[in-house]
Amino acid sequence: MDILDIIAKKRDKKVLTREEIHYFIKNYVSGEIKDYQASALLMAIYLNGMNNQEISDLTDEMKNSGDTLDLSDIPGVKVDKHSTGGVGDKVSLILGPMIASLGAKLAKMSGRGLGHTGGTLDKLESIPGCRINLSEEEFKKQVREIGIAIIGQNEDLDPADKKLYALRDVTGTVASIPLIASSIMSKKLASGSDAILLDVKYGSGAFMKTMKDAKKLAVTMVNIGKSLNKDVKAEVTDMDQPLGMAVGNNLEVKEVIDTLHGRGPKDITELCLDSGAIMLVQAKIFNNKEEAHKALVENINNGKAFEKFVEFISAQGGDKEYLYHPEKFPVAKNIIPVYSLRSGYVNRIDALTIGESSMRLGGGRETLDDVIDMSAGIVLNKKIGDHVEKGELLATLYTNKDNTKEIYDKVVRAFRVGKTVLKRNSERILIE
């Protein structure tokens, strides 16, 4: 077998066998196949696609390219959740304690934020003392005992994805559904959970810009799960505006606390309740989503969901006093109100612009080496459909930087205000 033959085969729109995919992954990870050869194959896949069997085989070979996590010694169904990324997406920190408070076992490995999207690990680290680097035994013990742990990704898991992801980034082959799907699913499957819920975002703040493309990616990933005998479901959800009101690390943690007390924004509360109900059925704790949804609402109202959050953060070294007293979190020295230039209805909030602006205020990173200001970010005062008067508050910028005029102007322009309310499709679809 030869890599040149494999490249030529995919170049000519032919189907690769499991053996050919195995040969490619094994020898690329070992260094026998060079980056320039792998780049040629990635471009051929980008241009010509893959069928369902090829995508499934590629995912499985990537998953098996390094260590895999064995969670079989933890009782019950282990569940995991993955979002394709967005702006203000703090769902894992709300959803995890909610379902764990009802007996689910959430064993989750997460990533850091890059560019306009925030990372769950960064939000956790904005809580003083909170550790995201647990050993495998600590991780499993915590899931076993309190039902939830969220940690950084194991460096030895899925080395094929790490190499391929970096190569795709510099060869113009990122936007390929077979390559996106295999990247996400190989990591999730290597993490050892029995059931996975995917949240595939679409809109201005998401990687997939249209519902059509997001649905195609969701269907592809659910099919991978079916082919590998895993319970995988996917929600296709809207990211045309930020999720919730807060964007930025400790700002989002404060919103997590509010939501777990029943005071959260409507959009993020509804998403967490819907997703939580699906996951509780996947975990076989409830027979249907209606019963699960009712129990989740009850555990928010009686405080059990918030107390599980405190237990989870405390187990990972976080100072629980910040959770009981959010006013203890550091506040940026510059708090800048953003006012509307006209009266009318908010018809659009460009999530990408809000995410990029939060990053430039210090709340995110352009490269993995950048240091985040945990107090920086943006808090919205209006959402799509809201009425606003000229001169009324649209949002507030939080930053320790001093030259913010350009960012201010971009945030003002991110809000499109019109005379009438535009009809908007924010449909949520479940793929199973």
Which positions are annotated as active-site residues?
82, 161, 168, 183, 187
Query: CB–CB of 58/178 below 8 Å?
Result: yes
User: Which spans in 191-303 are helix H?
Assistant: 211-227, 249-260, 266-282, 289-301
User: Measured between alpha carbons, how far is 352 from 241 in angstroms, rounded to an integer?
Assistant: 8
DSSP β-ladder status, 78-83 and 105-110 = parallel
Distance, in Å, from the CA atom of 336 to the CA atom of 251, rounded to the nearest integer, reads: 15
Residue 160 main-chain phi, psi, to 5 deg: -60, -40
364 close to 355: Cβ distance less than 8 angstroms: yes
∠ CA 252-297-242, nearest 5°, is 30
Calpha distance 351→204 (Å, rounded) = 6
Q: List C-alpha distances in Å: 348 to 36, 63, 108, 115.
A: 42, 40, 33, 21
Phi and psi at residue 412, to the nearest 5°: -55, -45
